Structure 1
Amino acid sequence: MKKFLFTLLALLVTCGNLVKADEGMWMLPYIKDLNIKTMQEMGLKLDADKIYSINHSSIKDAVVIFGRGCTGEIISDQGLILTNHHCGYSSIQSHSSVEHNYLENGFWAEQLSDEIPTPGLSVKFLNRIEDVTDRVLDAVNPDMQEEKREHKIDSVLIAIAGEVPDTLGYVPVVKPFYSGNSFYLYVYQEYPDVRFVGAPPSSIGKFGADTDNWMWPRHTGDFSMFRVYSDSLGNPAEYSEHNIPMKPKYHLPVSLKGNQPGDFAMILGFPGSTDRYLTSWGIEERMDIINMARIQVREIKQKIWLKDMQASEKVRIQYATKYAHSSNYYKNSIGMNMGLNNLHVLQKKRELENKFTFWVNRNEERKEKYGEALPLLEEAYTRRAPQNKARNYLRESLISGTEIYLFAYRAKRLADVMLSGNDELLKITVERMREDGEAFFKDYNPSTDQKVLEAMLKVYAQEISNSYYPSVYREIKSKYKGNYAKYAAKLFRKSIFADKDRYMAFLNKPSLKLLKKDMAFSGGVSVMNEYRLLVDLMRQQDFNIEKGKRLFEAGLHAMEPNKVFYPDANFTMRLTYGQVEDYMARDAVHYLYYTTLEGVMEKEDPDNWEFVVPQKLKELYLTRDYGRYADKDGTMHVNFLTNNDITGGNSGSPVINADGELFGLAFDGNWEAMSGDIAFEPELQRTINVDIRYVLFIIDKYAGAERLINEMTIVQ
C-alpha cells in the first residue's frame, strides 16, 4: 500500500491511452508522465514544465487559492488578481452600505490608492509538493484499531507540517489521497494584504442569480478583481500603507483569439471535494439524508430571508452573501439527486460492488486483504443512518439555519474564562467578543432571524425522533406549551445576543449569572451539546467507513491494474484538460457552445431583480460598441462551454488555451450533470466559463477602467 502511487506510475507506458482526456482532476507533479502526451495530441503547444516546475517559474505560479474556497489567477506583473464575482461577493458585500452599494452599482478603483483593503482576505501561492506517503504509513500497521491508526497518522502529519519554517508566510498542509493510501505535503505562501480593485454591478456579475444558477444557456459576467500587496522586498505582510503591489513569479497572458469547438482547454485550480469512489450505501446516504436535509431546510429558510430582503434594501445587503451561499448548494443538492437517478448511478455502483466481491472471493489472499471492505461499509452506513439524519437536520436548522444560537454559543469561551478567574484573559476575550459582535450585527436582522428560529425549531421536530431532541425542546414544551412562536418572541425580546446595544452593554460588565440565564445562550449550548452527542454516537461507524473506503479503493486498484486512477479532489491544485464543446442535454435539445450579449437583452426583465440590465450595457449593445473584444462574427460573446472536469473550489479558475494564454474564467457546471462529484458523465458534463473578451469589454467599455487593461499582457 505504501508503494501505491509508484505502482500507478509504473503502468503509464502501457495504459496511458486508456485515460479519457476530459475526465480527471490530475496532480501536477505527474502530468509529465501521465497526461502531457495526450494533451499535446489534443493541441497543447507547451511542455509539462511550462505548466508545473519546481526549478523555474511556470503557470502554477500564477494560480492562487483565493480566500477560503475559490481559485484566482494573476494577470499582470503588478499582482492583479482575477476571480469570480461570486468568489469576491462576500468581500464586495463587506465594503457595501446603503450609501456605497458596490453590489448594486459596482466599483472600480481609479488608481492604486483607491484600492480598498479587505481584512481577513488572503491569497495563497503553491510553493512545493512533497510525497510523504512512506513516512506516514511507516508509522502504522494493518492490525491497528482504526481510531489509534488515525491518531498516529495525525501525530505524524503534525510533525511533518512542523518542519516547515514558520517564516515568510509559509503554510504547510498535509493531505491524504486515495482514501488515505497516499499522503502529500503542500507548502503554500500566504499573502494577507489583498485589496478590492473592481467588480461590475450584480446585474452583470450575478445576472440570472438563482434562476440561472447551474443552468445553460448562461449570460453572466461572473468576475471581480483584486490585487495582492507585499512589503518592499516582495514578502508577505499584513496591511500597511507602505506595502506595494506584489511582483509575481509568473502572470498569465490574456488572449483575444476567441474559441471554437474542439479548441484545447485546460484548467488549473483548487477543486474542493469529489467522491468518485463512493459506494452505493454512501450514495444512498448522500441522496436520502444529506441532500434531503439541505433541500428541505434551506428552502424554508431562504423563503423567509428572501421575503425580508425584498422588503428592505438594508436587509438585502445584509443577507446577500448568506443567501447566495445557502442557495448555491440547495440547488446543487436538487440537481445531484436528479442526476444520480437519471443516470442510474446506484445501479452502476452495485454492479461494480458485485464485480469486486466476486474478484475478492476468488482468492484467499485477496479475501484477507480486502474481504471486509464492503461488508464493513454496508453495516456502518446502515447503523449510523438515524444519528446521521439527526446530525444533518440539526446542522442545517439550528446551527447554520438560525443565526442566534451559534452566535450565542460562542460566548461559552467567556463563561469558561470567567470561571477560571484569569482577569487578563478575560479582558482579551471580551475585546475579541466586541469585534465579533461588530461583524455579526453589521449583517444581522433580528426580526428576520426570529422568524427563522421559529421555523427551524418546527422543521427539526417534525423530521427527527424526539430521542435526538436538544434539551431546549423540553423547556419549550414545559414553559411555552410547545409554542415555538411564543418561545422565539420572548428569546428575541430578552436575549443579550439579539440586540447590539444589550450585547455591548453586557460586555462592559460581564456576568456569568446573566449569561447562564440567557435564552439564546442556553439554547445554543443545548443544540451544540446534542450535536456533539450525535458525533460521538457515530464515531465508531465513521472509523469503519474510513477503513472500508481505504480498503475498497486499494482493492479497486489491485482489481484493475491496467487502469490509471486519479485521486478525488481535496482542495489541492489540480489540472483538468479537455476541449470547447457543445452538448445534447436530452432528446432533441442541442445546446450551442457559446452565448452572446443578445441573450442578455432577450432575458431582460426590469421587474425581476435577477434579470435587470444596466442602461449603459444596453447602450453599448445597441451601438455594437464592442471594440477589439468582439468575436470575428461581430457579436459579443459572453459565456462558453468546455468539457473540463471541475467542482466547487474551481470557481475562478483560469481556462487556458493551447498557447498557455487565459481565454476564460470557470464559474459553474451544468444542471444535467450535477451528479458529477460522484459520477462523471462525459457526454453531459460541462464547465460554464466567462469569455475573457466579455470580461475585458466590461472593464474597458462599460467601466472605463483602462488602467487595468494597460497592466495586462494582451495577445491579439
Structure 2
Amino acid sequence: MIKKIILLSAIVMPAVAAFAQQNGGMWIPTELNEQEMKELGMKISAKDIFNPNKPAINDAVVHFNGGCTGEVISPRGLLLTNHHCGYGQIQAHSTLEHDYLTEGFWAKTTSEELPNPGLYVDFITDIKDVTSQVLGANKNASDAEIKRNIDRLKEEFKLKPYQSVDIVPMYYGNKYYAFVKETFNDVRLVGAPPSGIGKFGSDTDNWVWPRHSGDFSMFRIYADKNNQPAEYSKDNVPYKPKYFLPISIKDKKENQFTFVFGFPGRTQEYLPSIAIDKIVNEIDPARIAVRDVALKTLDEKMRKDDATRIKYAAKYASVANYWKKWIGEVEGLKKSKAVQKRQQYEAKLISLNPNIKPTIETLTKLYEEQSPYAVNDAYYGEMFRNCQTLRLASNLMNLVAQQEKGKSISGEQIDYIDEMYRNYDAMLDAKVMAKVLALYQQKNNPNFLPQGFSKFSDVQKNMETLDSWTSLSLISGQKTFDGKVIYSDLSKLIKNPEFVKALKADPYYQLASELRAAYRANVMKSYNDLQEKIDHYQKEYMAEQMATDKQKKFFPDANSTLRVSYGQVKGSNPRDAVYYGYQTHLGGIMEKYIPGDYEFDVPQKLINLYNSKDYGVYKDKTGEVPVNFTATNHTTGGNSGSPVLDAYGNLMGLNFDRQWEGTMSDINFDPKLCRNIMVDTKYILFVIDKYANAKHLVNEMKVVK
C-alpha cells in the first residue's frame, strides 16, 4: 500500500507542477505580471525588459512592416524575423531566372543586400498611461470629445522628425495609452533560406505540431551617417542599435521559463458567452467556407504551373493562414467548453454583483438581433477578399467616386491597385469567383442579395458567364482602352470621362456595384448600428468585470501594440492517449521528406549535412540539431517573428505559429491546451553557418553557448 501511494504521488505531483502557470496574457511592458514571471523562473527584472531611460530589451524589438515583429541581433542592425513575414520581399526580388523563394538568398557583403521600397520598422521608445488626459473626469466621454483630447495631447508630445505617437484605447475604451515610436524606412534583405527550409511543411503543417520549419529571414536596418532614420540612400550605413539581443544556443529543457516580446494583433478575451457561441457556430464557419473554395481552386493550378506558383505564393499563404486558424479555433473552443466556462464565469460575476446581469442580458439580446446581419457580413467580406477581380472592381469604384466628388486620388491608392495586378490571373480568378458567387447565393438570406441574384446559384453556368465577361472586361486586363491596359496608366485614365464611362459599363464593375449596393442597403447599417450598441455595452461590461472580480489580474486585449507574454517550454496532451514532446529535430525533416513535393521537398545540401552529421556546435544532447519547440506563451497574429527569450533575456527562439488545438487562445487562453511554436536558435544558426556558408553573419552576433 505504501509503495502504491509513493508511485501515485510520483505521477500526480509532476502533473500539478506542470501547470504552475495560472495566467496567460499579453501584458503592456510597463505593467508586467512580474510576480508570476519570477515564480516561473525569470531572472531579470521588468526594468530590463522595458526602460525608456536607458538601453533595454525593448530597444531590440521592432514592429516589422506594421504586421509582424522582428528583433535586432547584432551591433550592425542585423534583423531577424520570420520567413513568412519577409515573404513578400523575397517574392518581389524573385524571378524565374533567380527564384529566391526556391533557392534562397544570402548577401555576402552589405553591398549585395537588397533594398525594399515601402518596407519599414518601428521601435517603441516610451509608453504612457494617458487615460486621465483623454477621458478627463468623464468616463463616458463622446467619441468627438475623445478625438479632440487625443489630437490636443499628441501636439503636446515633443517629438523628433522621425518619431510619432499613437494613442490607443485599452480595455474597450476604459483606458488609453500613448506609444512613442521611431520609424526606419531603409530596411534591406540580407538572407533567406529556400522555401524547402523556410516554408517546409507549407500549408499541410501550418498551425499544427510537430513542426519542422526553418521559418526565418534576415534583414538589416540602415540609417544616415548620424545613425538616425532616413529614406533609402546608397550613402546610408548599418544602424547601430541602442541594444541588441544575445543569442543562446543552450539546450532547451521542459518547464524552462520563456517570454515573448512583440506586437500581437487582436484578441477577444473578455467577450460574453453569446459572442463566443456566434463565433463557433456562425461566423467562423462562414469564413472557412469561402476560403475553402478559393484555396482548392488556386492549389489545383499552382501545383501544375510554376509561374502561377510564384505569382500566387504570397496570396495563397495569406488566405490559407486564417482559414486553417479558424478551423482550429472552432475545434478548440468546443473542446475547451469555452461557451460553458464563460457562462459559469458570468454566473459568478452576477453572484458578486447583481448589477452586471442587465448588461449581460442586453449583450445577449443584441448579439441575437445582429446574428443574420453578421453572417452576411462575414460572407460578403470574404467574397471580396478572395475574388480578386471583385476587389479590383471595388477599388476602382472608390477611385471613380472620389474623382466625381472632386477629391484627389493618392499615389498610394494607384500603387495598391497596381500591386494587385502584379500578381493576378484573370482566368484563374474567374474559376474562384464562379464557386464563391454560388456559395454566397446559397448561404445568405435572399433579402440581403441583389435582385435576381439567384441566377448565380449554379457553378458551371457562372463559369460560362464569367468566361465571356473576362474577355470583354477592362478590369480583367483582357480588353484595352485606347490601346492601353487599365493598369498601365491608371492615374491618367481615371481622369478621362470616356474611360470612366467604359469602366462603369464593365460587367465586373456592375456586379461589384450591385453587390455593394445590396449590402449597404440591406445589411451594413443594421449591422453597424447594432455593433455600436454592442461596443457601448462591452465597454460597460469590461469596466464591471474589472470592478467586480478583484482576484483576477486583467490585461488589455491585443491591438497591435507592444506586449509581453510568458510561459514555460512544454509538450502537450491535446487528445486522449496523445502526447507531443516539446522539441523536434532535423531527423524529423527527413522522416517527412518527399522528393519533388510542393511542401515536403528538402534541399540536397541539407540532406548531405544530415547524412554526414556535420552539425558543429548546433547539436543538442541527443546528437541531433533541434528545429522547433513549443511553450505556453500566449501569442496571436502579429507575434510572428517575435523574439522568444530565456530567463536572462537571451534569444532562444523565433516565434512563428501556434499549435492547432490551441488557436482558440485569441478568445479563451488555457495553458493546459495552448502552445506557441518557435524555431530553435540552434537551427537558425546551423542553417546560416553550415547550410548557407554565411559565417560572416554569425560572427556579427553575440552567441551564448
Q: Same fold (TM over 0.5)?
A: yes
Tell whether the 8 Å contact from 2:349 to 2:549 is kept in structure 1 after alignment.
Answer: no
Counterpart for residue 112 of structure 1: 110
Tell whether the 8 Å contact from 1:140 to 1:152 is kept in structure 2 after alignment.
Answer: no
Alpha-carbon separation, structure 1, partners of 2:509 and 2:420: 15
| Equivalent AA in structure 2 for residue 30 of structure 1 | E
Tell whether the 8 Å contact from 1:656 to 1:663 is kept in structure 2 after alignment.
Answer: yes
| Equivalent AA in structure 2 for residue 451 of structure 1 | K
| Equivalent AA in structure 2 for residue 615 of structure 1 | Q
1:401 pairs, out of 386, 389, 396, with 386
2:688 pairs, out of 677, 699, 704, with 699
| Equivalent AA in structure 2 for residue 711 of structure 1 | E
- The Cα of 1:151 is off from its aligned counterpart by 3.4
Alpha-carbon separation, structure 2, partners of 1:484 and 1:190: 47
- The Cα of 1:559 is off from its aligned counterpart by 2.1
- 1:307-348 CA-to-partner distances (Å, cap 9, x unmatched) read 111121111111111111111111111111111111111111
Please list every run of 5 or more consecutive structure 1 residues that lacks an aligned counterpart in the other structure: 1-17, 362-366
- 1:413-467 CA-to-partner distances (Å, cap 9, x unmatched) read 5424553578xx5xx76x7676445422221111111111211211100001121
- The Cα of 1:665 is off from its aligned counterpart by 0.7
Tell whether the 8 Å contact from 1:23 to 1:644 is kept in structure 2 after alignment.
Answer: yes
SS of equivalent residue, structure 2 residue 657: strand
Counterpart for residue 30 of structure 1: 31
**Scaled by the length of structure 1, what TM-score is found?**
0.90
Alpha-carbon separation, structure 2, partners of 1:415 and 1:671: 43
| Equivalent AA in structure 2 for residue 450 of structure 1 | A
Counterpart for residue 250 of structure 2: 257
Counterpart for residue 490 of structure 1: 468
Counterpart for residue 580 of structure 1: 569
| Equivalent AA in structure 1 for residue 243 of structure 2 | Y
Alpha-carbon separation, structure 2, partners of 1:579 and 1:642: 5
Alpha-carbon separation, structure 2, partners of 1:569 and 1:419: 39
Tell whether the 8 Å contact from 2:222 to 2:237 is kept in structure 1 after alignment.
Answer: yes
Counterpart for residue 283 of structure 1: 276
Counterpart for residue 426 of structure 2: 446
Counterpart for residue 517 of structure 1: 505
Alpha-carbon separation, structure 2, partners of 1:278 and 1:415: 39
- The Cα of 1:624 is off from its aligned counterpart by 0.5
- 1:165-199 CA-to-partner distances (Å, cap 9, x unmatched) read 57432232122111221111111111111111111
Cα distance change, pair 484–162 in 1 and its aligned pair in 2 (3 A): farther
Alpha-carbon separation, structure 2, partners of 1:218 and 1:420: 53
Tell whether the 8 Å contact from 1:168 to 1:189 is kept in structure 2 after alignment.
Answer: no
- The Cα of 1:557 is off from its aligned counterpart by 1.9
Alpha-carbon separation, structure 2, partners of 1:621 and 1:449: 41
- Does structure 1 residue 455 correspond to structure 2 residue 435? yes
Counterpart for residue 4 of structure 2: none
Pairwise mapping of residues 207-286 of structure 1 onto structure 2 (< 5 A)?
Answer: 207-286=200-279
Counterpart for residue 551 of structure 1: 540
- The Cα of 1:666 is off from its aligned counterpart by 1.0
| Equivalent AA in structure 1 for residue 382 of structure 2 | E
Cα distance change, pair 373–79 in 1 and its aligned pair in 2 (3 A): same
Tell whether the 8 Å contact from 2:434 to 2:460 is kept in structure 1 after alignment.
Answer: no
SS of equivalent residue, structure 2 residue 96: coil
- The Cα of 1:354 is off from its aligned counterpart by 2.4
- The Cα of 1:157 is off from its aligned counterpart by 2.8
Cα distance change, pair 621–493 in 1 and its aligned pair in 2 (3 A): same
Counterpart for residue 143 of structure 2: 150
Counterpart for residue 391 of structure 1: 377
- 1:508-545 CA-to-partner distances (Å, cap 9, x unmatched) read 65323212212222223333334444332222211221
Structure 1 stretch 378-387 or stretch 346-355: which is displaced more?
A: 346-355
| Equivalent AA in structure 1 for residue 684 of structure 2 | V
Alpha-carbon separation, structure 2, partners of 1:296 and 1:586: 26
2:639 pairs, out of 634, 650, 655, with 650
| Equivalent AA in structure 1 for residue 429 of structure 2 | D
Counterpart for residue 349 of structure 1: 342
| Equivalent AA in structure 2 for residue 640 of structure 1 | F
Structure 1 stretch 457-466 or stretch 18-27: which is displaced more?
A: 18-27
Pairwise mapping of residues 55-74 of structure 1 onto structure 2 (< 5 A)?
Answer: 55-74=53-72
Pairwise mapping of residues 288-437 of structure 1 onto structure 2 (< 5 A)?
Answer: 288-361=281-354, 367=355, 370-397=356-383, 399-416=384-401, 418-419=403-404, 435-437=415-417
| Equivalent AA in structure 2 for residue 520 of structure 1 | Y
- The Cα of 1:659 is off from its aligned counterpart by 1.9
Structure 1 stretch 534-543 or stretch 702-711: which is displaced more?
A: 534-543
2:593 pairs, out of 604, 616, 620, with 604
Tell whether the 8 Å contact from 1:22 to 1:645 is kept in structure 2 after alignment.
Answer: no
Tell whether the 8 Å contact from 1:471 to 1:527 is kept in structure 2 after alignment.
Answer: no
| Equivalent AA in structure 2 for residue 28 of structure 1 | P
| Equivalent AA in structure 1 for residue 313 of structure 2 | A
- Does structure 1 residue 123 correspond to structure 2 residue 116? no
Pairwise mapping of residues 159-238 of structure 1 onto structure 2 (< 5 A)?
Answer: 159-164=152-157, 167-238=160-231
Structure 1 stretch 515-524 or stretch 184-193: which is displaced more?
A: 515-524
SS of equivalent residue, structure 2 residue 84: helix
- The Cα of 1:471 is off from its aligned counterpart by 5.8
Cα distance change, pair 187–526 in 1 and its aligned pair in 2 (3 A): farther
Tell whether the 8 Å contact from 2:435 to 2:459 is kept in structure 1 after alignment.
Answer: no
| Equivalent AA in structure 2 for residue 383 of structure 1 | E
Alpha-carbon separation, structure 1, partners of 2:89 and 2:459: 43
Tell whether the 8 Å contact from 1:254 to 1:661 is kept in structure 2 after alignment.
Answer: yes
Cα distance change, pair 705–517 in 1 and its aligned pair in 2 (3 A): same
Alpha-carbon separation, structure 2, partners of 1:140 and 1:179: 15
Cα distance change, pair 359–572 in 1 and its aligned pair in 2 (3 A): same
Counterpart for residue 639 of structure 1: 628
Tell whether the 8 Å contact from 2:69 to 2:641 is kept in structure 1 after alignment.
Answer: yes
- The Cα of 1:161 is off from its aligned counterpart by 3.3
SS of equivalent residue, structure 2 residue 353: helix
Tell whether the 8 Å contact from 1:22 to 1:577 is kept in structure 2 after alignment.
Answer: no
Alpha-carbon separation, structure 2, partners of 1:419 and 1:557: 49
Cα distance change, pair 317–163 in 1 and its aligned pair in 2 (3 A): farther
- The Cα of 1:150 is off from its aligned counterpart by 2.9
Structure 1 stretch 233-242 or stretch 105-114: which is displaced more?
A: 233-242
- The Cα of 1:409 is off from its aligned counterpart by 2.4
Counterpart for residue 10 of structure 1: none
Tell whether the 8 Å contact from 2:22 to 2:671 is kept in structure 1 after alignment.
Answer: no
Cα distance change, pair 477–590 in 1 and its aligned pair in 2 (3 A): closer
Structure 1 stretch 645-654 or stretch 575-584: which is displaced more?
A: 575-584
Please list every run of 5 or more consecutive structure 2 residues that lacks an aligned counterpart in the other structure: 1-18, 479-483
SS of equivalent residue, structure 1 residue 347: helix
| Equivalent AA in structure 1 for residue 474 of structure 2 | I
1:51 pairs, out of 28, 41, 49, with 49
- 1:89-111 CA-to-partner distances (Å, cap 9, x unmatched) read 12211221212111111111111
Tell whether the 8 Å contact from 2:438 to 2:459 is kept in structure 1 after alignment.
Answer: no
